[in-house]
Structure 1
Amino acid sequence: MGRRRRGRAVNGILILDKPLGLTSNAALQRCKRLYDAAKAGHTGSLDPLATGVLPLCFGEATKFSQFVLDADKAYTSTFVLGVGTDTLDVEGDIIAQEDASFIDVSAVKRAVTGLTGDIEQVPPMYSAIKRNGQPLYKLARKGVEVERASRPVSIHEFECLAFRPGVAAEVDVAIRCSKGTYIRSLAESLGEKVGLPAHVSALRRTMAGPYALHEAIPLAGLEELAVNGVEGLDDCLRPMDGPLSNLPSVSLVESSTFYLQRGQPVLVPNAPKNGTLRLYAADKRFIGIGEVLDDGRVAPKRLVNDS
């Protein structure tokens, strides 16, 4: 007999404004304890240096976390030109320094333009990517560097917001990009374009999939709400189907809902001819996602159990 999971059956998505200095997992565990939730997961790591939008999935919502993980992200960041670190951010050890006084804003903007669109990016050694089961950052801490294959990423928007010249010049940027983009590597690439070492000194995620920074709740605010019990915390949760907003939806009649929830494909009048669908019961209740079969029937793919 399996061990019973401790905690409440909490279902929904919390849009957390992750504070500076915490890992994504540490922030998740703090929130999980506040909610006394039996099950929770985050939707992709943010470095301790980074703040901002970190959607956390509770309970049945964890079944759809991949949709946020795969979605586009947006950031604001400050790059420092003229100083390079081993981690490519301000928390690392300085490994290179050059006078950046010769760089002006026009050179920076040309470099930004050259890094916009579909590019190849080499992940940094200080990353969670695994090599033979070992995270690269653990190898990096031992002084071991391994070859990393470049990856295609898309930089949809890359804007220079401000430029502060100097021996160590600073560039404030806004970026919207595909999943898997390393902003630290982008800073390094910008430095290479202008002939200087570079690193990230500040990073804030402003969007993750459908969720924006103005919706995010600071951890300190959640802790204040928790003083009065979990009811106020539960009011902060967003619906489970939020990450699926780009999928077409269908509503099922009561009999179709019954059979589909028992694993059987069903006919749905006027359903799309193919693809993945959001599924709703006749009472508008979200019940999960389904896949259109070759014969036109809709089969269950991932269903929620919120009974």
Structure 2
Amino acid sequence: MFFYKKRSVHGLFLLDKPQGISSNNALQKVKIIFNAKKAGYIGTLDPLATGMLPICFGECTKFAHYLTGSNKRYHVIAKLGEKTSTSDSDGIVIKKRPILFTSYKLDLSIKELIGPIEQIPSMYSAIKYNGIPLYKYARQGVNIERNSRKVTVYDIYSIYQENNLIEFKIFCSKGTYIRTLIDDLGEKLGCGAHVIFLRRLQVASYPYTQLVTISHLYELLNKKNINNFNPFKNIDDLLMPVDSPVSFLPKVHLSSKQSYNFRLGQIVHFCSTIKNSLVRVIEEENKKFIGLGKINMGKLLIPYRLISEFTN
């Protein structure tokens, strides 16, 4: 099915990214399926990785950066005894060592990785240097000096190790490179290690149960809906609200008159117990989200980030 005129689609979609393609490639596939004008993803996943890739459509992209700083949860399996060029199984083995560590050494090494830590990002990462991703330099054999960055690993749990494989789950802050973490663990254990399986289970508080695969999207798109002539209804029903990325912010409701003024960028006099905070602004009459505002000293509501009129 081909549609030539792109649609204005708005909302958030939780893609279950398949293995073997880049995050951008996955985004483009989903964008084509939805026939959407504008979309972007949050939090790059390596081609090897699968799992939660939030995709923001249309007006939702205005609030995507609020999710960029969210905590994340992963399921990882690593192979011990081999260090690779990319710290995962997509690279070549550059060093092999025997696996000789004790269970005590494993526990100690994992504990050393929990808490605030410093990481030097891999050359095979999407971080840009002079506007070009590091992995493109790496493929040319060019090494760029990288600064370390502070990240936080809140927990490493459900640990299971057998022979040359180790499996566990990780709860961590934004910017944590799991491949680098596994590489560091391998060095602490003295045998080397690299990622062979990586699945993102969670971004912020989004439920793992709402992940949707690309193949299921195709199924829904091709499924006939006798109650509606909109061929996209089945997949549009999967979209979360535009304000989903800022759902952690408190809500305030405005009257129709106040909403009209607020949409024009005017400051609204508003009494509230909330002070000096960003809020989600809802038009009371139709329950529509109209943007973000900032309440100043509990008496003024200042427009901060407005959405267009698409929902009304």
Report deviation, 1:81.
Answer: 1.7
Equivalent position of 1:273 in the other structure? 275
Which runs of 5 or more residues in structure 1 are unaligned? Answer: none
Instruction: Tell whether the 8 Å contact from 2:271 to 2:298 is kept in structure 1 after alignment.
Output: no
Correspondence for 2:292? 289
- Equivalent position amino acid for 1:109 in 2: D
Q: How does 1:4-153 map to 2 (within 5 A)?
A: 6-100=5-99, 102-153=100-151
Please say if residues 101 and 190 of structure 2, whose CA atoms lie closer than 8 Å, have aligned partners that are also in contact.
Answer: no
Deviation at 1:171, TM superposition (A): 0.9
> Do residues 175 (structure 1) and 176 (structure 2) align?
no
Point out 4+ residue stretches in structure 1 off by more than 4 angstroms. none
Match of 1:231 among 230, 233, 239: 233
1:205-244 matched pairs, under 5 angstroms: 205-228=200-223, 229-244=231-246
Q: 1:176-215 maps to which residues of 2 (within 5 A)? A: 176-215=171-210
Deviation by residue 1:55-112 (Cα, 9 ceiling, x = unmatched): 1111111111111211111100012221011111100011111011x22443222211
CA offset at residue 9 of structure 1? 1.1
Change (3 A) 1:35 1:51: same
Distance 1:296 1:89 in 2: 54
Kindly, what percent of the aligned residue pairs are identical?
A: 40
- Residue in structure 2 matched with residue 248 of structure 1 by the alignment: 250
Q: Does 2:300 match 1:302?
A: no
Amino acid in the other structure paired with 2:207: A
Please tell me whether the aligned partners of residues 23 and 47 of structure 2 are also in contact (alpha carbons under 8 angstroms): yes
The answer (yes or no) to whether the contact 1:210–1:243 under 8 Å persists in 2 is no
Q: Structure 1 pair 178/74, CA: closer, same or farther in 2 (3 Å)?
A: same
CA distance in 2, matches of 1:163, 1:222: 36
Write the distance in 1 (CA, Å) between the matches of 2:30 and 2:257: 39
Query: Quick one: distance in 2 between partners of 1:51 and 1:171?
Result: 18
The amino acid across from 1:43 in the alignment is I
Residues 233 and 152 (structure 1 numbering): CA distance in 2 closer, same or farther, change over 3 Å? same
TM-score, normalised via structure 2 length:
0.92
Please, what TM-score do these two structures have when normalized by structure 1? 0.93
